[in-house]
């Protein structure tokens, strides 16, 4: 009985580790590249937004319209973002840093630092679900 329980626990742990990937980036391995994620952000009221990632850019979409564009880099499981344009209260050039985890089909970004407090309110605590990228 103990052997079976150990085996089940081992399989569960192995499965969880296999499905958990930090957003750590290697030169050719970017887990966010060409992906799109949907979540309920507070901008300032709750609204469903999409984060659409390309090679080094994030488009924030509301009702399929780009409302903000940011550049990003990944390093050691952290995503560094810089606002390029958009109608949010953040200043152009505002920098932020978040811990970035992909857990199965979920993206979670945890606040480390950000020059724009409104962006923290929009991103903190949201679990984004992976969706099909529209081409």
Q: For residue 1, what pLDDT is reported?
A: 55
Q: For residue 17, what pLDDT is reported?
A: 45
pTM of structure: 0.79
Question: Which structure tokens are listed for 71?
Answer: 């550049």
Q: Which long-range contacts (CB under 8 A, 24 or more apart) does 51-58 make?
A: 51/107, 51/128, 52/133, 55/30, 57/84
20: enclosing H helix or E strand: strand 20-22
State which fold the 22-131 domain adopts. Lipocalin (2.40.128)
Q: For residue 12, what pLDDT is reported?
A: 41
Could you tell me which residues are beta bridge partners of residue 120?
none
As a whole number of angstroms, the distance between CA 130 and CA 85 comes to 24
Query: How many Cβ atoms are within 10 Å of 55's Cβ, its own excluded?
Result: 10
pLDDT of the chain along its 135 residues, tens only? 555 444 444 444 444 444 455 665 544 578 999 999 999 988 778 899 999 999 999 999 999 999 999 999 999 999 999 999 998 889 999 999 999 999 999 999 999 999 998 888 888 889 999 998 766
């Amino acid at each position: 009985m103990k052997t079976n329980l150990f085996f089940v626990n081992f399989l569960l742990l192995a499965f969880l580790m296999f499905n958990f990937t930090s957003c750590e980036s290697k030169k050719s391995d970017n887990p966010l590249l060409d992906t799109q994620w949907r979540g309920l952000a507070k901008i300032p009221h709750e609204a469903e937004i999409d984060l659409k990632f390309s090679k080094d850019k994030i488009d924030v979409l509301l009702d399929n319209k780009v409302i903000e564009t940011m550049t990003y880099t990944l390093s050691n499981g952290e995503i560094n973002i810089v606002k390029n344009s958009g109608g949010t209260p953040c200043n152009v050039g505002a920098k932020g840093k978040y811990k970035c985890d992909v857990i199965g089909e979920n993206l979670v970004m945890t606040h480390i630092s950000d020059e724009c407090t409104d962006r923290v309110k929009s991103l903190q605590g949201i679990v984004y679900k992976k969706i099909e990228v529209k081409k």
